[in-house]
Amino acid sequence: MLNYLSQTDSEIEAWIKHELERQRHGLEMIPSENFTSLAVMEALGSILTNKYSEGYPGKRYYGGNEFIDEIENLTRERAKKLFGVEHANVQPYSGSPANQAVYFALLNPGDTVLGMELAQGGHLTHGYKLNFSGKYYKAVSYGVDSKTHLLNYEAIREIALKEKPKLIICGATAYPRTIDFAAFRKIADEVKAYLLADISHISGLIIAGVHPSPVPYADVVMTTTHKTLRGPRGAMILVPKVIDRWHEIYHPTSKRNLAELIDAAIIPGLQGGPHNHQTAAIAVALKEAATVEFKTYGQQIVKNAKTLAETLVKKGFTLITSGTDNHLILIDLTTQNITGQQAQVLLDSVGITVNKNLVPYDTRTPLDPSGIRLGTPALTSRGFREEDMLIVGEIIAAVLSNPQNETILAQARQKVKELTDKYPLYPELN
């Protein structure tokens, strides 16, 4: 696998091998992580990284782009077909720059944006005060209901009516339930706001048909490509309809439609040369995502998450919203006598990787919050099914309930080994 690196840089070779073994022998349960195919990695590690191609297919600032143009066009067409949209920009380096580009395309500094509060499941780029989105725009936020921890669309509507945002962002990083994109559209229409759906976490589930699509409702859709979509790190900005519904109000003098505004925001607005190796790898992932097998994969992610949630509830754990509709679970450890940070370290010690996470209305801090966030996309890529998730749930419950019990921790390590031996990861790599 690392034939050349082994001859030139044994230090980096060694660390990559360590990381491969860590991925192989642990249970990867961070909901935003996944394992790409070797074909995706082959495109990502290709000679395409050598080429500059600022601009877009047919309109580049450098020569020698005839094959890069074919690759980018193919990627765009695959994205358009898979998500059913009129335009796709496949150049964003990752999710945060992609959201930045959407802001840059649609807003002026100081305009009001309404997004989900980071501490209640949103994202840094949805208006967090220390992020560009909270510094250069007037960011207001909505959260979840204090009792049910569900999105309360009437409450969101009231905030929108009061604040009159120009952009509403829906989408989350720690919300275990289905998002009602139609309800967001209604609110956006009432206040004449653009609607951005950030589907980074759930785009693979949408393709698999296990979460509704925002395409009929949103003005712009953004997704990263490396989460449930199982591609390389990267992002895409999708424009369902290029005709701008608020053009006369917000861009009366511009001749550009929504697709052109987005493209101009990426380059020359924010980025230089696209990462062509990344674009090609996204194309490979999109082809994989268009298969029947990928649909089955997405369905299995949700089945696995539901089984895990049920197991944890049976073992007495408190889950935010009592369960899940998607790929992730948020455990509230408040009554468990262990913090999120302690739980993360403890689970790491038996080979289970999760991330500490604030729970809604948390009284603790982001670096040592009351919760942990778990997900099933990566384990499902390995082949895990419901019967395996039941065991995973039992291991997690036993470990978190007995943090000092060395016998139970040793048993947990053994069970993790049995599960990872059952589903070898990247057996082709040496």
Interacting residue ranges for ligand DSN, rule: CB under 6 A: 32, 95, 123, 173
Minimum distance, C-beta of residue 139 to ligand DSN, in the bound complex (Å): 17
Which of residues 199 and 258 has its CB atom nearest to ligand DSN in the complex? Answer: 199
Check whether the bond before 268 is cis (ω within 30° of 0).
yes
Which of residues 143 and 377 has its CB atom nearest to ligand DSN in the complex? Answer: 377
CB 195 within 8 A of CB 218: yes
CB 267 within 8 A of CB 315: no
Catalytic site includes residue 129: no
Question: From the candidates 13, 33, 54, 111, which is the catalytic residue?
Answer: 54
Catalytic site includes residue 233: yes
Which of residues 362 and 394 has its CB atom nearest to ligand DSN in the complex? Answer: 362
DSSP 8-state assignment for residue 125: G
Contacts of 51 (CB under 8 A, 6+ apart): 62, 64, 65, 68, 276
Question: From the candidates 227, 306, 373, 415, which is the catalytic residue?
Answer: 227
CB 69 within 8 A of CB 58: yes
Minimum distance, C-beta of residue 55 to ligand DSN, in the bound complex (Å): 28
Question: From the candidates 112, 224, 311, 420, which is the catalytic residue?
Answer: 224
Catalytic site includes residue 80: no
Minimum distance, C-beta of residue 218 to ligand DSN, in the bound complex (Å): 18
Question: From the candidates 51, 52, 111, 178, which is the catalytic residue?
Answer: 52
Q: Which residue is nearest to ligand DSN (CB)?
A: 32
Q: How far is CA 261 from the centre of its chain?
A: 24
Which of residues 55 and 127 has its CB atom nearest to ligand DSN in the complex? Answer: 127
Give the number of other Cβ atoms within 10 Å of residue 143's Cβ: 20
CA dist 252 and 264 (Å) reads 17
Give the number of other Cβ atoms within 10 Å of residue 109's Cβ: 10
- Per DSSP (E only), the strands in 199-245 are 220-224, 235-239
CB 409 within 8 A of CB 349: yes
Which of residues 98 and 419 has its CB atom nearest to ligand DSN in the complex? Answer: 98
Minimum distance, C-beta of residue 131 to ligand DSN, in the bound complex (Å): 11
Question: From the candidates 117, 198, 244, 332, which is the catalytic residue?
Answer: 198
CA dist 262 and 244 (Å) reads 11
Minimum distance, C-beta of residue 125 to ligand DSN, in the bound complex (Å): 8
Contacts of 72 (CB under 8 A, 6+ apart): 53, 56, 57, 90, 91, 274, 276, 279
Minimum distance, C-beta of residue 190 to ligand DSN, in the bound complex (Å): 29
Question: From the candidates 17, 24, 233, 417, which is the catalytic residue?
Answer: 233
Catalytic site includes residue 52: yes
Angle of the 292-314 helix axis to the 386-401 helix axis, nearest 10? 40
Which of residues 71 and 174 has its CB atom nearest to ligand DSN in the complex? Answer: 174
DSSP 8-state assignment for residue 249: H
Catalytic residues: 52, 54, 198, 224, 227, 233
